[in-house]
């Protein structure tokens, strides 16, 4: 059994059950590349300020590289007695480079070390999420561009409301994912701050050079207060909040894909490669991908709840409770990256059933508002115009017709202001193209939105 780094003060061995209970290596081992990268930078800094010699730093850095290789190759042996990944690496370094390994932890604590590891990890993963969001947004824009003349019913309360361009609907998703991406870009600013040097909680008497460590690890800034540095995980909470909102968007998109691909809607067909069959019902083609994405949303929201609840009662500064930050964070990262990736792959595979969409937009009185608008344009106050159109809908329902199927005489019963040009106003194209208000569904407006999105995507710099 490995000797504990704190054995000086202890006369009894740690109980095996305690070792099992407190160990975190089973999950925090995934931090190893960041832990080693951070330790290498720490060694270089210690040598730069003269706390260790350059020869010692070289020995440590080379030893750390060897340990990394062992970990990369999966040859590493883990043990509960060394609790976490940080102690495993330090202990293994000792067996490889001998006595000098004992200098690695000078001017450092696991409290600032683990804060560094999580920040490095989350910085990497946040950039990956941002890239995936970019890919997803491009896929959404491409589908909109390919189908920029397809008309569908727009819904409120899941009831047909007014006709819209399918591309307009898609561009609504684009906007949601753009804001999601902005939230990640913003949370990244607060994750991307270098914590090492806070040591246990109060800073360190060694003449350390924190900006140098920041420079080596490509951080634009160092944290300002040592206590805050080891006490908080708000950057992770922010990531999880952004991830939860993004998953809610993905879940709603998924819900629509499930509905639209049903026989009842038949608005879209998902490709065979992105659907699954049934083991009993030969006819089935199930939208499992959007269903699973919708289902996974709860996990990410759950992770946010777990971390927020974990932190809420903690006094300053580091508390061991905080070891529980990792599993929810890792799970949320794995979940959101998988969901973004699969959704971005599935979207280009969607076949749009334009006739079905158009037919659905043509029935159900989606032009009733436009009849009211027509009358209002002729000088009828809108409330009164609304009433006339409502009566016309009731009349048409009784006849089993749509508004545009009524004869001129039939429709004129509801207002003497009605002229033959009413029927032009009630066509799908007319309704769509009259909605030229900023952000509306007119073809030209939507095409401009698509072009704007393309320019925006092309100009986005890599984080």
Q: Which is nearer to ligand ARG, 5 or 440 (CB)?
A: 5
Helix, strand, coil percentages, rounded to 5, for the chain: 65, 5, 30
> In the annotation, is 278 catalytic?
yes
Ramachandran angles phi, psi of 46, nearest 5°: -60, -35
Please choose, from the candidates 372, 356, 365, 355, the residue with its C-alpha nearest in 3D space to the C-alpha of residue 434.
372
Rounded to whole angstroms, how far apart are CA atoms 233 and 118?
9
Min. distance of Cβ 324 from ligand ARG in angstroms? 8
Strands 268-269 vs 351-352: parallel, antiparallel or unpaired: antiparallel
267, 273, 279, 285 alpha-carbon torsion, rounded to 10°: 10
First to last CA, the chain: 44
Q: Which is nearer to ligand ARG, 314 or 342 (CB)?
A: 314
Min. distance of Cβ 115 from ligand ARG in angstroms? 9
Min. distance of Cβ 325 from ligand ARG in angstroms? 7
Instruction: Using CB under 6 A, list all residues that contact ligand ARG.
Output: 24, 28, 84, 110-111, 114, 318, 320, 322-323
Q: Tokens representing 112?
A: 């600032």
Strands 268-269 vs 159-165: parallel, antiparallel or unpaired: unpaired
Min. distance of Cβ 24 from ligand ARG in angstroms? 5
Min. distance of Cβ 344 from ligand ARG in angstroms? 33
Q: Which is nearer to ligand ARG, 113 or 335 (CB)?
A: 113
Please choose, from the candidates 36, 294, 336, the residue with its C-alpha nearest in 3D space to the C-alpha of residue 183.
336
Q: Tokens representing 416?
A: 């003497």
Q: Which is nearer to ligand ARG, 201 or 362 (CB)?
A: 201
Min. distance of Cβ 258 from ligand ARG in angstroms? 39
Q: DSSP letter for 283, please.
A: T
Distance set, CA 438 to CA 401, 418, 445, 449 (Å):
33, 29, 7, 10
Catalytic option among 157, 263, 279, 407: 157
Min. distance of Cβ 435 from ligand ARG in angstroms? 54
Catalytic option among 7, 262, 271, 278: 278
Q: Which is nearer to ligand ARG, 34 or 318 (CB)?
A: 318
Confirm if 151 and 164 have CB atoms less than 8 A apart.
Answer: yes
Q: How many CB atoms lie within 10 A of CB 158?
A: 7
Q: Which is nearer to ligand ARG, 327 or 410 (CB)?
A: 327
Confirm if 314 and 232 have CB atoms less than 8 A apart.
Answer: no
Ramachandran angles phi, psi of 415, nearest 5°: -170, 135
Q: Which is nearer to ligand ARG, 85 or 406 (CB)?
A: 85
172, 272, 288, 128 alpha-carbon torsion, rounded to 10°: -60
Residues labelled as active-site residues: 157, 278
């Amino acid at each position: 059994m490995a000797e504990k780094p704190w054995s000086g003060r202890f006369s009894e061995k740690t109980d095996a059950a305690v070792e099992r209970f407190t160990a975190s290596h089973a999950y925090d081992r995934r931090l190893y590349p960041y832990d080693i990268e951070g330790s290498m930078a720490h060694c270089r800094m210690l040598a730069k300020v003269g706390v260790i010699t350059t020869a010692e730093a070289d020995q440590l850095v080379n030893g750390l590289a060897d340990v990394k290789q062992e970990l990369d190759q999966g040859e590493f042996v883990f043990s509960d007695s060394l609790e976490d990944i940080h102690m495993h690496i330090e202990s293994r370094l000792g067996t490889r480079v001998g006595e000098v390994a004992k200098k690695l932890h000078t001017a450092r604590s696991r409290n600032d070390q683990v804060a560094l590891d999580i920040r490095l990890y989350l910085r990497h993963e946040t950039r990956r999420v941002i890239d995936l969001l970019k890919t997803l947004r491009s896929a959404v824009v491409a589908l909109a561009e390919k189908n920029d003349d397809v008309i569908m019913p727009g819904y409120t309360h899941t009831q047909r409301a007014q006709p819209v361009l399918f591309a307009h609907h898609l561009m609504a998703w684009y906007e949601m994912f753009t804001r999601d991406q902005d939230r990640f870009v913003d949370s990244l600013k607060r994750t991307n701050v270098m914590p090492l040097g806070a040591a246990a909680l109060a800073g360190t008497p060694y003449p350390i050079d924190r900006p140098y460590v920041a420079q080596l690890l490509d951080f634009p800034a160092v944290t300002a207060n040592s206590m805050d540095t080891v006490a908080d995980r708000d950057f992770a909470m922010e990531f999880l909040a952004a991830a939860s909102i993004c998953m809610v968007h993905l879940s709603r998109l998924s819900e629509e894909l499930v509905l639209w691909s049903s026989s009842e809607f038949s608005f879209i067909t998902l490709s065979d490669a992105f659907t699954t069959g049934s083991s009993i019902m030969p006819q089935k083609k199930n939208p499992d991908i959007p269903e699973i994405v919708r289902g996974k949303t709860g996990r990410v929201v759950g992770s946010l709840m777990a971390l927020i609840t974990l932190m809420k009662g903690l006094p300053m500064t580091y508390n061991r409770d905080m070891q529980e930050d990792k599993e929810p964070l890792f799970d949320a990262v794995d979940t959101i990256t998988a969901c973004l990736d699969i959704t971005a792959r599935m979207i280009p595979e969607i076949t749009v059933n334009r006739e079905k969409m158009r037919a659905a937009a043509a029935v159900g009185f989606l032009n009733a508002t436009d009849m009211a608008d027509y009358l209002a344009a002729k000088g009828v106050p809108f409330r009164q115009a609304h009433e006339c159109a409502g009566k016309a809908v009731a009349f048409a329902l009784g006849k089993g017709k749509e508004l545009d199927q009524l004869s001129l005489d039939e429709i004129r019963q509801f207002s003497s202001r009605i002229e033959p040009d009413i029927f032009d106003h009630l066509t799908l194209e007319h309704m769509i193209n009259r909605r030229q208000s900023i952000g509306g569904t007119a073809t030209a407006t939507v095409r401009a939105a698509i072009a704007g999105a393309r320019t925006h995507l092309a100009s986005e710099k890599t984080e």
